[in-house]
Amino acid sequence: MQGKKNYQEKLFQQFQLSNCLPESNFYRRLHSLLDLNFLYQKTKVFYGTSGQKSIDPVVFFKLCLVGYL
């Protein structure tokens, strides 16, 4: 089963990483340029319909991309 991650910052947490990153950060700019939502449709055929949800294919692609860069 294909999983999908919905990111939500913690409500009662003093430290937020997104506030500490400058606007010119490479990964912040990359996130604004890349739209990876097409991966859900492209990878749908590789996932079953039962069982536990897998890692989000977009998250997996981002992990591979960061490892490459």
pLDDT of residue 27 exceeding 80? yes
Residue 9 domain flag: no
Do 64 and 13 form a contact (C-beta atoms < 8 A)?
Answer: no
The pLDDT-based confidence of 10 (bands split at 50, 70, 90) is low
Domain interval for residue 59: 17-68
pTM over 0.85: no
Residue 22 domain flag: yes
What is d(CA 63, CA 21) in angstroms, rounded to the nearest whole number? 19
Maximum Cα interatomic distance, the chain, rounded to a whole number of Å: 42
The pLDDT-based confidence of 11 (bands split at 50, 70, 90) is low
What is d(CA 66, CA 4) in angstroms, rounded to the nearest whole number? 19
Residue for token pair 């989000």: 56
Residue 12 domain flag: no
Interval 28-63: pLDDT, tens: 899 899 999 999 999 999 988 888 888 899 999 999
Residue 3 domain flag: no
Residue 58 domain flag: yes
Residue 1 domain flag: no
For the record, the structure tokens of 25 come out as: 């950060």
Question: How many structural domains compose the chain?
Answer: 1
